Amino acid sequence: SAVISQKPSRDICQRGTSLTIQCQVDSQVTMMFWYRQQPGQSLTLIATANQGSEATYESGFVIDKFPISRPNLTFSTLTVSNMSPEDSSIYLCSVGVSAGGKTQYFGPGTRLLVL
Amino acid sequence: GNSVTQMEGPVTLSEEAFLTINCTYTATGYPSLFWYVQYPGEGLQLLLKATKADDKGSNKGFEATYRKETTSFHLEKGSVQVSDSAVYFCALSDDTGGGNKLTFGTGTQLKVEL
């Protein structure tokens, strides 16, 4: 398994501003992922963060809105840009471990409320 | 494409009752299957997994068997406790194309009462 931490754990932001979420893992991992969980909903993959290359975004998510950094094998950031109330969600990072990275372990999440 | 279908909740049970949460899937290739649990105000925790047909995953009294013939991965527990109250997510990982992406079901809320 892996121990994953996220900062901040929660935040309240004004519309039009940006927030950067940090994800730190206690071991080197190849694959890191960012998910969004809207209130009362399931998880939706935003992007896969690859070290040394640009993130791969899922349909409906774009780099200008959700820029991602992956400077090394233990750290990644997700920025939510130009926020609106519709961005109010829980944002979770996960890492893929074990054989082929098929098993994902999740961080505790960042709870974001945009006013 | 891949999809996961879970029974709708909330499921409300009395303590010590038997639990079944149904999960069926559609996938190309040979997926790995997972159950995750989300306690109130927390992130997702991996509960159990199975990587091939007929495998049984088990943890904390929960178990699920990978049934390829019925494309199912139902979660069961013989005697639930109040502390099991949470949202349970079924998911599959299909590494076709090397993506290792997880596809989640909609989640099933479990409420256990005394």
Q: How does pLDDT run across B9-59, given as a tens digit for each residue?
A: 899 999 999 999 999 999 987 899 999 999 988 889 999 999 989 999 999
pLDDT band at A99 (very low <50, low <70, confident <90, very high): low
Of A31, A42, A101, the CB nearest to B89: A42
Nearest CA in chain B to A108: B43
Q: Which whole number is the average pLDDT over A56-60? A: 94
Buried b vs exposed e over A23-61: b needs ≥16 C-beta within 10 Å?
Answer: bebeeebebbbbbbbeeeebbebbbbbebeeebebeeeb
Residue type, A3: V
CA distance A100 to chain B (A): 8
Contact A103 B32 (CB under 8 A): yes
A residues 28-67 lying closer than 8 A (beta carbon) to B = 31, 33, 41-43, 45, 48
Cα distance between the two ends of chain B: 41
